[in-house]
Chains A and B, each alone.
Chain A
Amino acid sequence: MFEELSQHILDIAMNSLSANAKQVQISILESRKHDWLVLRVRDDGRGMDAATLKRVLTNHWSSKPQRRKPVGLGLALLQQTSEMCGGHFHVQSAPGRGTSVTASMRLSHIDRPPLGDLNTTILALCATDKKMDVQLNYRSDGQKFSFDSRELATKG
């Protein structure tokens, strides 16, 4: 359904927006040496209780009636991608304590989607009405990149 990991990231971070997060932190670790790609999206939104979390993770696409609002679909999709690519998927969340989504996958796995257009994903998140702060930390074996929307907002 999503062709790029950066679309998954956008989708998960839009959940943060719906959860009234003031800040979302995205981190990406890409290591050829260890053959892992790890994504983490962490927010300070309202969080979920255990029952809600269980529900959003079990609502897979195929089991949903077509016109009902697909709550939690995005998380289930990322879980699917991650597990299909030899990785692990974990969500940590509690009411009032934000949500942290971690998805890993084997970098060399044949089904692993490309990261894709990460720039446009971050741009979209910078354009939300609620003015959520967006941070990105990207790290690979030899390179590092970080982005923080707060630095830009103060200049403008």
Chain B
Amino acid sequence: MNLEQLKQLKEKAQKQIALREGGKKYRVVVSMGTSGIASGAREVMKTMLDEIEKRGLDDVEVHVTGEHGLEDIEPVVLVEEAGGEKTTYAQLDTEKAKKIVAEHLQKGRKVDNLAVGKQKKTE
């Protein structure tokens, strides 16, 4: 175990805790059940956090939840826009995750070819 890496944890966790405070334009929810973790949801989450930080996006919050009941198409990430659409992205990997941050979260353009299902309005 590399203790040096662990020492960065406190700083990163501080930012992470700040990221779940609410009231942001975009709310990203990563499904982190057994099948999600097994298919790479944790790596997808890490990539999104890194990209959000790299791009300095401060109107995004990131949350983790249990199973979405979509275990056949994990990793699954839900992007909710405040007062707007909910988009479900499925079968993600780290490259697709970067694309979602760059397009949807930064430029506000939904990545249609990665999205699944019908659009839903946020209540």
Point out residues on A near B: beta carbons under 8 Å. Answer: 1-2, 7, 10-11, 14, 17-18, 28, 30, 67, 69-70, 73-74, 77, 115, 117-129, 131, 136, 138, 140, 143, 145, 147, 149, 152-153, 155-156
How far in angstroms is the closest Cβ of chain A from B64? Answer: 4
How far in angstroms is the closest Cβ of chain B from A83? Answer: 19
From known contacts A67-B72, A118-B6, infer whether A156 and B14 are also in contact, taking CB-CB under 8 Å: yes
How far in angstroms is the closest Cβ of chain B from A47? Answer: 18
B111 within 8 A of A: no
How far in angstroms is the closest Cβ of chain B from A132? Answer: 10
1/0 per position for B12-46, CB-CB distance to A under 8 A? 11101111100000000010111101100011011
Which residues on the B side are within 8 Å of A2 (C-beta)? 37-38
Q: Is the CB of A126 within 8 A of B6?
A: no
Q: Is the CB of B14 within 8 A of A127?
A: no
Which residues on the B side are within 8 Å of A69 (C-beta)? 67, 69, 71
